[in-house]
Structure formats: structure tokens, C-alpha cells
């Protein structure tokens, strides 16, 4: 009986160690976003400041592909060409704090809603004078 108890205890301990050592998904860093991404779509809505007159939008009808490359040094390149690489001249710098992504060339912040090896989704909320725009921007990683 004591042997079974020790076996069960060891199994529970090992399960706790392996499950407890996973990366904290709420604390992303610049290294998590590195690489080349292609824009897929933007979905969201616009409304008056009080939430009335809501107008949904969906944007994936680009006749071109838009690529974004995040480099190791905290800079990045945005291009309509897939041929961007680490030697490309940077267009912006970026920073990730927790799940908030900021760019040097924008006053807006993006919340990284989803990030894995294949896809990335940013959400945003912007105020433009008398209306609000809320959206999600979808990207796929380029191999």
C-alpha cells in the first residue's frame, strides 16, 4: 500500500512540476514576436462615443500583401514586398510590455490578444474626435 501511495505522490509531483513550469502567457517580450508576418484582415466596428450608431467593418480586400518584420534589436520593417529581411532598413521601433505593443511611429497601443507560432491577433480601441473605432488585426507568420 505504501508503494502505491509513493507512486501516486510521485506522479502528482511530476505533473505539478511540468504543468507549473509553463511560460506565463500574460508576460510577452519583444523576442516572442520576432520574425516576418503577413497581414490577413481587420475586423471591428465604429460607433459614436456613447456606443450608438454602431457600424461593423471587415477589411480583407487588399489587392496586395502587407508584410511586417520584427527584428531582434527592437526595430521593424513594413513592406508590400515579401523580400524584407534583417538587412532591410527599419521603419519603426517597437516595445512589448506585458501584452501591450507600442510603436515609435504611432500614438496608439495594441493589445496582443493571441500569439503563437502560426498567428497573431492584435486588438485596439481608438477615439477619433466624436467616434470610437474598435478592431482586431490578424496576421499569419511567414515561413
Q: What's the pLDDT tens digit per position in 107-125?
A: 889 999 999 999 999 999 9
Q: What is the pLDDT of residue 53?
A: 87
Cα→Cα distances 77→5, 15, 84, 93, 122, Å? 57, 42, 7, 9, 17
- Report whether pLDDT(59) > 60: yes
**Banded pLDDT at 9 (limits 50, 70, 90):** very low
Q: What is the mean pLDDT of residues 8-32?
A: 53
Q: Please, what is the end-to-end C-alpha distance for the chain in angstroms?
A: 54
- The more confident residue out of 56 and 76 is 76
Q: What is the pLDDT of residue 79?
A: 93
Q: What is the pLDDT of residue 73?
A: 95
- Report whether pLDDT(61) > 60: no
Task: Burial-class residue 101 by CB neighbours within 10 Å (0-12, 13-18, 19+).
Answer: buried
Mean predicted lDDT score pLDDT of the chain = 82
Amino acid at each position: 500500500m505504501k508503494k502505491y501511495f509513493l507512486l501516486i505522490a510521485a506522479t502528482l509531483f511530476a505533473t505539478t512540476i511540468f504543468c507549473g513550469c509553463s511560460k506565463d502567457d500574460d508576460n510577452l517580450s519583444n523576442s516572442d514576436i520576432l520574425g516576418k508576418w503577413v497581414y490577413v484582415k481587420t475586423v471591428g466596428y465604429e460607433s459614436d462615443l456613447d456606443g450608438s450608431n454602431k457600424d461593423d467593418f471587415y477589411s480583407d480586400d487588399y489587392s496586395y500583401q502587407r508584410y511586417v518584420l520584427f527584428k531582434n534589436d527592437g526595430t521593424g520593417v513594413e513592406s508590400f514586398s515579401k523580400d524584407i529581411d534583417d538587412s532591410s532598413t527599419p521603419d519603426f521601433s517597437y516595445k512589448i510590455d506585458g501584452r501591450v505593443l507600442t510603436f515609435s511611429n504611432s500614438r496608439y497601443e495594441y493589445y496582443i490578444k493571441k500569439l503563437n507560432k502560426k498567428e497573431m491577433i492584435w486588438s485596439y480601441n481608438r477615439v477619433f474626435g466624436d467616434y470610437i473605432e474598435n478592431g482586431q488585426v490578424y496576421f499569419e507568420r511567414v515561413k
